[in-house]
Amino acid sequence: MQTIINFPLKSLNSFGFDVKAKEFIAVESSANLRSAIDYAQAHSLPWFVIGGGSNLVIHNDLPGLTIHVQIMGKKLVSKTATHAFVDVGAGENWHAFVQWSLDNQLPGLENLALIPGTCGAAPIQNIGAYGCEIGQWIDSVEVLDTYESDEDRMWQTLTRSDCQFQYRHSVFKKDPGRYIVTQVRLAIPLVWRPNLQYAELAKHVANISPLLPKDVFAAVCHIRQAKLPDPKVLGNAGSFFHNPIVDESTYLSLKNQFPDLVAYPSDTLNGTPQFKLAAGWLIDACGFKGFRQGNVGVYHQQALVLVNYGHGNGKELLDLARTIQEKIHAVYGVDLTQEPINLP
């Protein structure tokens, strides 16, 4: 197995931080992935798996072995009376896959267009946008369970319910480092119904008749491009914090104090109502939109997005995040949790 020493990761993390991997290998098959893990274990090296690097804060050079999953391939595997089943390799780019699904008359994923990152990373944080979450389309996920040493038990298929999808959360986040995703199987309903529950999206397509999947796709791309920075131009990892979920009494008391507060009803917890607060609103209302601290800052169009102006590093970014978290806690008594994963 040939690894590369001191491999630059600047183009493999969407913040564009100038960090290196002590040892690096790209794997294009499950067998190569297995060899890479064996190599790390045999040499007692810590190992890190990266896909598109779009949900990471790499704040130091990575020790040990960094494994870049590049397992490719996408195909329609079967159709039932109601669903098309599609397999996609973990290394495929998510947005290109959404485009491919539309080109192959398999619409349904268009609300998730332009989300950066790979298909293998999609189930990990249960990517979501404009009223959709990938968990709803996932049939199963093929993984390498690194806690197993037995060859047969090592390769597993996790069903949708095994994945325990919740808002930006899954079994993969609960037990980080345990599973490495190699392939995802999606179950796409054959009957297409546009999902227009996000008001701005509905407004965008209101005058289009008949409404086609490609129109929704174009509208989603338009809305995202207007609000979210392109990581190739300005380093970022999309939303930096989760939208906090609070109980009804917390919501009502905040709404009373801050009548403009933006919040939505969320899933109930043990039968009691919960509310999702728009973290972007909380941060914006504290005056942070466009705020800059050294080489990093808060995006001027969307306060939930932190950006690297070019020469920033992970430490500066995490300092900024802490400043925001402390202010939000002091003003609203609400804790903001970070969405991207910190490495090492």
Which strand ranges, in their side-by-side order, compose the sheet holding 292-293?
235-239, 305-308, 296-298, 292-293
| Measured distance CA(50)–CA(13) in Å, rounded | 9
Which strand ranges, in their side-by-side order, compose the sheet holding 47-50?
4-8, 20-27, 62-69, 47-50
Q: How far is the CB of 247 from ligand EPU (least distance, A)?
A: 19
User: Tokens 């939505």 identify what position?
Assistant: 264
Write 200-204 long-range contacts (CB < 8 A, 24+). 201/111, 201/130, 201/131
- The residue within the footprint of ligand EPU, chosen from 13, 289, 306, 307 (CB under 6 A), is 289
* Binding-site size, ligand EPU (CB under 6 A): 19
The CB-nearest residue to ligand EPU is 238
**Contacts with ligand EPU in 119-138 (CB under 6 A)?**
129-130
Residues 168, 170, 185, 316: which is the catalytic one?
168
Q: How far is the CB of 132 from ligand EPU (least distance, A)?
A: 8
| Measured distance CA(234)–CA(225) in Å, rounded | 12
Query: Among this protein's residues, is 339 annotated catalytic?
Result: yes
Secondary structure of 89-129 in HEC code, one letter for each residue: ECCCEHHHHHHHHHHCCCCCCHHHCCCCCECCCCCCCCCEE
Instruction: Yes or no: say if 100 and 213 are a contact pair by the CB < 8 Å rule.
Output: no
- The residue within the footprint of ligand EPU, chosen from 39, 100, 258, 281 (CB under 6 A), is 281
- The residue within the footprint of ligand EPU, chosen from 13, 70, 126, 302 (CB under 6 A), is 302
Query: Among this protein's residues, is 168 annotated catalytic?
Result: yes
Query: Among this protein's residues, is 249 annotated catalytic?
Result: no
DSSP-based helix, strand, coil % in the chain, nearest 5: 30, 30, 40
Q: How far is the CB of 228 from ligand EPU (least distance, A)?
A: 6
**Contacts with ligand EPU in 226-255 (CB under 6 A)?**
227-228, 238-239, 242-243
Q: Which lies closer to ligand EPU via its Cβ, residue 72 or residue 278?
A: 278
Q: Which lies closer to ligand EPU via its Cβ, residue 142 or residue 339?
A: 339
Residues that bind ligand EPU (CB under 6 A): 129-130, 198, 227-228, 238-239, 242-243, 262, 278, 280-281, 284, 289, 302-304, 339
Residues noted as catalytic: 168, 239, 339
